[in-house]
Amino acid sequence: RAYHVAHNQTQRTTAIIPASAHGTNPASAVMAGMDVVVVKTDESGNIDVEDLKLKVEKHKDTLSCLMVTYPSTHGVFEPTIKDICQIIHDNGGLVYMDGANMNAQVGLTSPATIGADVNHINLHKTFAIPHGGGGPGMGPICVNDKLAPYLPKHVIVETGGTEGIAAISAAPYATAFIILIFSA
């Protein structure tokens, strides 16, 4: 949202989310003050590109983002994912890629190649980081250059972008012992 606000586009509050997206995506969008518009999937589990185009056209003035899980929760590698991302970009939106199933794309592609502007990585699925139960969870967020200025700041540790919001984590670099696992 900060990106759109900084570009005098405060009306961009619509998040388009495919029916195949990870279940947390609509909840996250609503918590961020977004209006959610769901895009259908076809009989194979792919994003219905015609439905996407219709919904993008209808909401092009308020389109903030597409929240896509890649591959989808159905385990589908969208054959038109680059085109899907381009449709969003052509209409002023950003692409958020949910990394819930990211292990499947490691070595095959990357969020940047596909066209994602922001991506979070679920380390509990990729590097055996504890999930839930009070364990020290980690979810790195990767952004492209145009979103880097909006990364969250921290009160004590100098981090984040020049336009970043206040701290959203007590430990900006997570738990030291966990960092050793994926840094090795």
Asked whether the predicted pLDDT for residue 133 surpasses 50, the reply is no
Asked whether the predicted pLDDT for residue 169 surpasses 70, the reply is no
Q: What pLDDT is recorded for position 84?
A: 98
Q: Return the percentage of the chain with pLDDT > 90, whole number.
A: 48
CB 113 within 8 A of CB 90: no
Asked whether the predicted pLDDT for residue 148 surpasses 50, the reply is yes
Q: What is the mean pLDDT of the chain?
A: 84
Terminal CA-CA length for the chain: 35
Query: Residue 68 burial by CB count (10 A; 0-12/13-18/19+): exposed, middle or buried?
Result: buried
Asked whether the predicted pLDDT for residue 46 surpasses 50, the reply is yes
d(C-alpha 89, C-alpha 65), whole Å: 9
pLDDT digits (tens, 9 = 90+) for 79-91: 999 999 999 999 9
Which of residues 35 and 170 earns the better pLDDT score?
Answer: 35
Residues in contact with 92: Cβ distance below 8 Å, sequence separation at least 6, in sequence order: 9, 12, 60, 63
d(C-alpha 106, C-alpha 120), whole Å: 14
Domain count, the chain: 1
CATH of the domain at 93: 3.40.640.10
Tokens of 66: 């597409």
pTM for this predicted structure: 0.85
Q: Which domain holds residue 76?
A: 2-183
User: Which residue's entry shows tokens 């499947």?
Assistant: 104
